Structure 1
């Protein structure tokens, strides 16, 4: 009984952090359960044929290709497109970002966007900030390129962009300029083969170290999984 009382106390503290009481939480869960039962009942006699799934995927592939031909950014902003079609020469990468202070980056970025910006002066300020993190960036590069190195472990140790929710994630980079900075684009596509790791890439936000993981493509397994979602 004491354990149960403590559990209730901790539970109420937890949901209070989301602005919920025990009653509102219970109402929310009850409504969710009712909605699922209604949904299951409404759909119980609905069947979807293989041809309907195929037609949907074929149409989505065509839309993805048209979007990419029109604008690479239009393609890139639709997560569904990437599940059925990826343009040739795209790559999967992982990266380490050794960032300068966010306030310094904000200042540099704002200066870049001002009318009549003095790029030479801005570059000088950026280089000063990069110098402050160079030692850390060098240490990250040394660990990342050491024989038998675990790149993901180096990301966790050094990257300012690391988070538990995205740990180990591969990033799709399209072979189209304008989606990422020119410095990053040039570095990514200068790597010759999967497994290659770049040197330090200086940008306005800090240093990047990029690993070329693999060529990007939609596999049969990917499509098989997506077919279940479509159905």
Structure 2
């Protein structure tokens, strides 16, 4: 009996192990299922699924950056990720073959050096980023921290080897794109058409909104094609509050904000107690409690009003003191300007507005614009003619002394000043479109076979 039992256990173990082996073998076979083939180059099911999983992760991270959720288990999202992964892998096979065909996979010594430098920069950036997340980094010396960061980066898949591989692929791809778009050019007719379109669009946007145009012009990030009426350029000498006074005003305003919050809370209590008293059919006990609550709330509101009044006065006092501390300096600037002093020389000596540095045209200003202190805008727009200088004007940051520099001419901005920008933008778009079309053609001609059905579990 004991021998039979032992034999039975041994047989069970054999069956279990053989079953596990069969399951493992089946999984291995499934993983090795061919999904994409181009000649003797193959991407298997496990490779395609890994690429699709990375697509899902990238999409989820992008959604997360903008505060949105992304369901990586949604079948529709998975299918979309698989399609994207297959497309990318087909393009990768095609570009590798095309590069070999054209000899672009053979990099010159200069190109190899550039690849090496790019790979090193990418790797170093990743290690430096990893340093910020090393546990216990504050207790480590630089050598230990670097070692830990290197391990963290490599555990995450970032090595010099794969950074070099990536940089090499980028270099080869750049050569392929250059080859594909070598004959792409932009005509004068296309530039003129784009210019006309942009002018009309800008006119529609800004013709009745000079304030928006001025704000856009000041940010410097957007190319403008049309100028509405009512925009002028001004420069200023800012005599700024001392750092000590800035801190005092900030602290006073914080206390004012707290006092406003406290007053609102006290008023809410008064309103709540009064609401109970105004309710029909309340009991005597409820009425007595509400009356007591109302009395207490009114007392709290009275104290809050006094505190708010004091907080407002504190802001006024701190601000008055701040202006008093810079009066002499501002008066000196104003007096020298009145005596014919050189604006640029006085700017170099007294101005504390960093935004004026290297700002040759000055700020664009229009009535009612936001983004600037209203006191600055009002003073700038009150100047009557070009060359006029404002008196010292109290503002959020100190005293503004403003000079009316010029008027922006209403109408389309001259094509000559925009031609290079338009041409560059159009060329970039045409090159990208041409490359995408050429790549699609190369993929079509490559004869790649894909079995999407085999991706299904």
| TM-score exceeds 0.5 | yes
Gap runs ≥5 in structure 1: 1-22
TM-score, length-scaled by structure 2: 0.38
Q: 1:129, CA displacement in angstroms?
A: 0.5
Q: 1:107, CA displacement in angstroms?
A: 5.0
Residue in 2 aligned with 1:98? 239
Q: Could you tell me whether the CA contact under 8 Å between 1:187 and 1:201 is conserved in 2?
A: yes
Q: In structure 2, do the counterparts of structure 1 residues 70 and 96 end up closer, same or farther at CA, with 3 Å as the change threshold?
A: closer
Q: For 2:411 and 2:342, locate their aligned partners in 1 and report how far apart those are by CA, in whole Å.
A: 25
Q: For 1:164 and 1:201, locate their aligned partners in 2 and report how far apart those are by CA, in whole Å.
A: 17
Q: Could you tell me whether the CA contact under 8 Å between 1:91 and 1:172 is conserved in 2?
A: yes
TM-score, length-scaled by structure 1: 0.70
Q: In structure 2, do the counterparts of structure 1 residues 108 and 86 end up closer, same or farther at CA, with 3 Å as the change threshold?
A: farther
Q: Could you tell me whether the CA contact under 8 Å between 2:239 and 2:352 is conserved in 1?
A: yes
Residue in 1 aligned with 2:230? 89
Q: For 1:65 and 1:220, locate their aligned partners in 2 and report how far apart those are by CA, in whole Å.
A: 8
Task: Report the 3-state secondary structure (helix = DSSP H, G, I; strand = E; otherwise coil) of the residue aligned with 1:97.
Answer: strand
Task: Report the 3-state secondary structure (helix = DSSP H, G, I; strand = E; otherwise coil) of the residue aligned with 1:54.
Answer: helix
* Greater relative contact order (CA < 8 Å, ≥ 6 in sequence): 1
Q: For 1:163 and 1:80, locate their aligned partners in 2 and report how far apart those are by CA, in whole Å.
A: 15
Q: For 1:209 and 1:41, locate their aligned partners in 2 and report how far apart those are by CA, in whole Å.
A: 57
Residue in 2 aligned with 1:135? 328
Q: What is the CA RMSD across the aligned residues, in angstroms? A: 3.8
Name whichever of 199-208 and 170-179 sits farther off.
170-179
Q: In structure 2, do the counterparts of structure 1 residues 197 and 114 end up closer, same or farther at CA, with 3 Å as the change threshold?
A: same
Name whichever of 71-80 and 194-203 sits farther off.
71-80
2:257 matched to 1:114? Answer: yes
Q: For 1:40 and 1:197, locate their aligned partners in 2 and report how far apart those are by CA, in whole Å.
A: 54
Q: For 2:356 and 2:400, locate their aligned partners in 1 and report how far apart those are by CA, in whole Å.
A: 19
Greater gyration radius = 2
After TM superposition, list the pairs within 5 Å mapping 1:180-191 onto structure 2. 180-191=372-383
Gap runs ≥5 in structure 2: 1-112, 119-166, 261-307, 424-457
Task: Report the 3-state secondary structure (helix = DSSP H, G, I; strand = E; otherwise coil) of the residue aligned with 1:193.
Answer: coil
Residue in 1 aligned with 2:117? 27
Task: Report the 3-state secondary structure (helix = DSSP H, G, I; strand = E; otherwise coil) of the residue aligned with 1:83.
Answer: coil
